[in-house]
Structure 1
Amino acid sequence: MRYGSVTAVDNVSFTVEAGKLVTLLGPSGCGKTTTLRMIAGLEIASDGQILIGGQDVTRLSAADRDVSMVFQSYALFPHMSVLENAAYGPTVKGLGKEKSREMALDKLALVGLKGFENRYPSELSGGQQQRVAVARALVLEPQVLLFDEPLSNLDAKLRRRVREEIRELQQDLNLTVAYVTHDQEEALAVSDKIIVMSNAKIAQQGAPRALYEEPANAFVADFIGDANLIDVTVTAVVDGRADVAIGPASVSLPARGLGPGPAKVAIRPESLLLSGQVGQSSLPGTISKCAYLGNHLDIMVETPVGELFVIQYGHHAMLEPGTPVSLSFAGSGVTLIPPA
Structure 2
Amino acid sequence: MRYGAVTAVDNVNFTIEAGKLVTLLGPSGCGKTTTLRMIAGLEIASEGQILIGGKDVTKLSAADRDVSMVFQSYALFPHMSVLENAAYGPTVKGLGKEQAKQMALEKLALVGLKGFESRYPSELSGGQQQRVAVARALVLEPQVLLFDEPLSNLDAKLRRRVREEIRELQQDLNLTVAYVTHDQEEALAVSDRIIVMSNSRIAQEGAPRELYEQPANAFVADFIGDANLVEVTVKSVADGRAEVAIGSAAISLPARDLGPGPAKVAIRPEALLLSGTAGPASLPGKISKCAYLGNHLDVMVETEIGELFVVQYGARTMLEPGAPVAVSFAESGVTLIPPA
**TM score, norm. by length of structure 1:** 1.00
Alignment correspondent of 2:33: 33
Aligned-partner SS, 2:117: coil
1:50-65, aligned counterparts within 5 Å? 50-65=50-65
Aligned-partner SS, 1:311: strand
1:122-271, aligned counterparts within 5 Å? 122-271=122-271
Q: State the one-letter code of the partner of 2:331.
A: G
Q: State the one-letter code of the partner of 2:211.
A: L
**Inter-partner Cα distance in structure 2 for 1:173 and 1:240:** 42
Alignment correspondent of 1:87: 87
Q: State the one-letter code of the partner of 1:184.
A: Q
Alignment correspondent of 1:109: 109
* Cα deviation digits, residues 66-98 of structure 1 (max 9, x gap): 000000000000000000000000000001100
Alignment correspondent of 2:325: 325
Q: State the one-letter code of the partner of 1:236.
A: S
**Inter-partner Cα distance in structure 1 for 2:318 and 2:2:** 53
Deviation at 1:234, TM superposition (A): 0.1
**TM score, norm. by length of structure 2:** 1.00
**Inter-partner Cα distance in structure 2 for 1:145 and 1:91:** 19
Alignment correspondent of 1:10: 10
1:311 correspondence with 2:320: no
* Cα deviation digits, residues 177-232 of structure 1 (max 9, x gap): 00000000000000000000000000000000000000000000000000000000
**Inter-partner Cα distance in structure 1 for 2:285 and 2:213:** 25
Q: State the one-letter code of the partner of 1:182.
A: H
**Inter-partner Cα distance in structure 1 for 2:54 and 2:276:** 60
Alignment correspondent of 1:72: 72
Q: State the one-letter code of the partner of 1:166.
A: I
Deviation at 1:289, TM superposition (A): 0.1
* Cα deviation digits, residues 13-63 of structure 1 (max 9, x gap): 000000000000000000000000000000000000000000000000000
**Inter-partner Cα distance in structure 2 for 1:21 and 1:251:** 38
Aligned-partner SS, 1:145: strand
Moved more, 207-216 or 313-322: 313-322
- Ranges in structure 2 where 5+ consecutive residues have no aligned partner: none
**Inter-partner Cα distance in structure 2 for 1:326 and 1:37:** 50
Deviation at 1:316, TM superposition (A): 2.7
Alignment correspondent of 2:47: 47
- Ranges in structure 1 where 5+ consecutive residues have no aligned partner: none
**Inter-partner Cα distance in structure 2 for 1:186 and 1:251:** 33
Deviation at 1:277, TM superposition (A): 1.1
Q: State the one-letter code of the partner of 1:87.
A: A
4+ runs of 1 displaced by more than 4 Å?
none
Alignment correspondent of 1:296: 296
**Inter-partner Cα distance in structure 1 for 2:277 and 2:28:** 43
**Inter-partner Cα distance in structure 2 for 1:163 and 1:316:** 30
Q: State the one-letter code of the partner of 1:67.
A: V
Deviation at 1:315, TM superposition (A): 3.2
Aligned-partner SS, 1:299: strand
**Inter-partner Cα distance in structure 1 for 2:317 and 2:134:** 45
Q: State the one-letter code of the partner of 1:95.
A: L
Q: Over aligned residue pairs, what C-alpha RMSD do you find?
A: 0.3
